[in-house]
A and B are shown apart, each in its own frame.
Chain A
Amino acid sequence: MFQITKRDELPTWQGVLIRIGSILAGVLLASFIIAILGFDPVKTFAALIGGSFGSSSALINTVTIAIPLAITALGLAIAFRMKFWNIGGEGQIIMGCVFATFVSHNMPASTPGVVLILLMGVAGFLGGAIWALIPGLFRVYLRTNETLFTLMMNYIALCIVQYLHFVLWRDPAAKGFPKIKAIQEQAHLPMLFGVHIGFIVAIVLGVLVFLLIRKTKLGFEIRVVGESAPTANYAGINVRQVMLTGVILSGGIVGLAGMVKLAGAVYTLSPSITGNAGFTAIVIAWLSNLSAPIMLVVSVLIAALEQGSQVIQIKLNVPSAVAAVIQGLILMSALGGEFFLRYRIVRRKREQSKSQKGDA
């Protein structure tokens, strides 16, 4: 007979071991399935790792994928700290891109790059912030459920960008091909070490978010509101104001992630611009326990998984579905490992033999 019991808090090194162990378990599980499907697990994983970290070009690709993931996760984590379940990352990324694209399309071509990029950054922040603030206002003043609300806002944003893509902003120069005009060339983010400088933005934001949460009064208020709104109210914190500020920051940073991806990597707004980053970032935020520095690292690992699975599709002809299964299994195991951080499974002692001894 087995039983699940809560465990005491673990020392850090044990927690790290469990996390590594659960990822390894996921790799094993995935290997098993790869083997059944007739591929060589060792080769597959070697290709996966080689394809994501093995060369400078692989590394550049991985980091490029990681940048919007990391920034989005940093933004979402601020909302999650307040127990404001912002599932609207997708919509906020899209709106960030829409606002940034609007700025680029409407500024004269003579605008210097730096000015244009800064303006687009502000616009991106605004776009995401507005998209998060709408459910935020409803949550704060009408107590609506923000989980559903933010989720639904994703689809509205998606419809808006589809309308722009196919109708309103359709580029007549594209000869009937539905496409939005690319942003101005001087608005492209400059490169450093072969990667666009979005990675610097991510690192700086990581530091800023860390400082905000840990070292500022607002961050303290955000943490108190998230832990217990009655306590916050009791301590004289204006809960509504703090929550709205936090939501604006959260949505704004996510919108900025969209702008960075637009100006740094894809240059053109399209309905598929998010690449699911708004959802993947939720996983990243929680896997990192909402800690800003850890989010940066985890984003790179998740990005490596994505990049690597693209490589194995090309190199080993592994079908894309299998690559997705590998990604899914590893993620699932990593998340499942969290269970063992909190609980342990014990075997029940045989009570019969013991009590008989006691009676005798």
Chain B
Amino acid sequence: MSETTTPVSEFAFSMKGISKTFGSVAANEEIDFEVRKGEIHALLGENGSGKSTLMNILSGIYQPDSGTVFVGGERKVFHSPKDSIQCGIGMVYQHFMLAEPLTAAENISVSTGGFFVHHKKESAAIRAFSEKYGMEIDPDKLTNQLSVSEKQTVEILKVLYRGARILVLDEPTAVLTPQEIRALFRVLRKMRDGGCSIVFISHKLNEVMELCDRVTVLRKGRSIETCDIKDIDAYELVEKMVGRKVDLSINRPIPKEDCKECLRIESLSLRDPDGYVKVNAASFTLNHGEILGVAGLAGSGQKELCEAIAGIAPVESGRIIFEGNDIAGKSPREIIRMGVSMSFIPEDRLGMGLVASMDITENILLKDYSFQPGVFLKTAPVREKAERIVKELEISTPGVHHPVRKLSGGNIQKVILGREIHLSPKLLITAYAVRGLDINSSYTIYNLLNEQKMKDVAILYIGEDLDVLLELCDRIMVLCAGEVTGIVDARSTTKEEIGQMMSGTRYEELKGGVDYVSNH
């Protein structure tokens, strides 16, 4: 193949006129996507804009209905991911695909083929290889002992080591601290300078502006724009993604002065069903009319903390005091019976919180039916409530008898939020309230939360986007490995400070360190 004249192309790969439909939904329509050699190319678009479909076509998981993929100027048809890998295309997914009991080196070399494994040789080769790109990794460490960012490094190495020259990174920064993100960017730039092409998928615009050379925006399955990053700003990008101008500021009301304490957590500890400590001696308070943000890497105990307060996860020790009553260890129904009005919007809305196949009315009934007398279910009064929620929150649905599974992510979130707010809770716990939502819906949710705050509701907001946490919350509590590393004023703290606490530095140490420097 190399003897024949390979067409010279400035593009590492190009996808032309890609279309793909699922049922009656056109996920990709005539998309053109071209990435040059030696560039970092951002692929932007809201959820459902067709990014994943396009990348699944590039990686050979899906076959396009029509359209062509060229790699290095040559037309390619990928029948399976194997074909795509052979063309030097490598995917790094958000969910790591590593064999936990193996070492890093074994995970990396497993993808290179060959029958025998030479442990020492491989491990040395991988060490040398990773140093070339400025990545730090101990190849002999077991994968289950690696941190999240190390696992990601292994994923990237795995792909590079088998010779990939085109890398697709799907939301790589979602699981990293600000410091780790900076290190990742250094590595990516080095790879680019070495001639690799990188597709960077992210919804954090500031990262895209900082890292990428060019950008392609998708909207509703079509490619809207491809241009150099230096020719465009974040506001224009959002406009292209959403299709109209969006106000990107959150209006944060000042909490009232005389707010009473709503929730007090005293040295709360709990373990998951496998016996691992998930929350360790956490203590904090939450006032009425306040939004307390919770920052932390994924899996730092946020989910377990919320579930413990809501009575779903068992508490090992400690107290959860709601307006003077200890509710630790009580079941959700017992908590309701005690007259505690608390609403919890869990992380996985369809897995916990809503019943996917049931309609909006029945899902709203879920929190109401137990108050109904008798054995029979009364849906009529709830239907009116459902109609009101649909109207107030502008949920786009053919009707209140439409199964929630068929609604979009934003509308699903509005259904559960509407249901919980309509119970007029005193405490509202939201876990990743805007995950998977488009920009517009996200801002609707922020406004709704602020409205609740002004109604004296105490809000515990588990977030993942630090910029939003800083803009929305009154105080921010940082969790690291189940421990509270600090609680700071959101108006005066910085991203760096939070980042350091996310990776385990305690607030006192942080401040102590500063004092130490200033004293000398």
Contact = CB atoms under 8 A, between A and B. Distances in A.
A217 B23 contact: no
Interface stretch (B186-194, B346-354, B407-415): B346-354
B202 to A, nearest CB: 29
Contact of B336 (A236, A238, A359): A236
Given A233-B312, A236-B331, A228 B67 contact: no
Nearest to A227: B355
Interface in B348-387: 350-358, 362, 365-367, 369-370, 372, 374-377
Interface string A1-40: 0010111100000000000000000000000000000000
B351 A228 contact: yes
A215 B376 contact: yes
Given A224-B366, A355-B16, A236 B333 contact: yes
B34 to A, nearest CB: 14
A234 B344 contact: yes
A220 B365 CA distance: 9
Interface string A114-151: 00000000000000000000000000000000000000
B23 A7 contact: yes
Interface centre among B63, B353, B365, B377 (most CB of A within 10 A): B377
Interface stretch (A62-70, A182-190, A194-202, A346-354): A346-354
B425 interface: no
Q: How large is the interface on B (under 10, 10 to 19, 20 to 34, 35 or more residues)?
A: 35 or more
A217 B354 contact: no
Judged by DSSP, the binding face of B is: loop
B64 A351 contact: yes
A30 B517 CA distance: 89
A251 interface: no
B370 A236 contact: yes
A228 B377 contact: no
B100 interface: no
Interface string B85-102: 000000000000000000
A241 to B, nearest CB: 11
B249 interface: no
Contacts of A319: none
B333 A238 contact: yes
Interface string B51-89: 000000000000111111000000101000000000000
Contacts of A234: 310, 312, 332, 344, 346, 352-353
Contact of B362 (A216, A220, A351, A358): A220
Given A5-B23, A236-B332, A355-B66, A227 B370 contact: no
Interface string A332-360: 00000000000000001101001100110
A231 B331 contact: no
A114 to B, nearest CB: 27
A29 B68 CA distance: 42
Nearest to A346: B65
A255 interface: no
A217 B376 contact: yes
Given A7-B23, A235-B332, A236-B333, A230 B351 contact: yes
B16 A228 contact: no
26 contacts: A5-B22, A7-B23, A216-B375, A217-B369, A217-B375, A220-B369, A223-B355, A224-B366, A227-B356, A228-B350, A228-B352, A228-B355, A231-B355, A233-B352, A234-B346, A235-B366, A236-B336, A237-B333, A238-B331, A351-B64, A351-B66, A351-B77, A355-B16, A355-B17, A355-B67, A358-B17
The 4 A-B pairs of least Cβ separation, nearest first, read: A236-B333, A230-B352, A236-B332, A355-B68
Interface of B: 16-17, 22-24, 63-68, 75, 77, 310, 312, 331-333, 335-336, 344, 346, 350-358, 362, 365-367, 369-370, 372, 374-377
Interface of A: 3, 5-8, 215-220, 223-224, 227-228, 230-231, 233-238, 348-349, 351, 354-355, 358-359
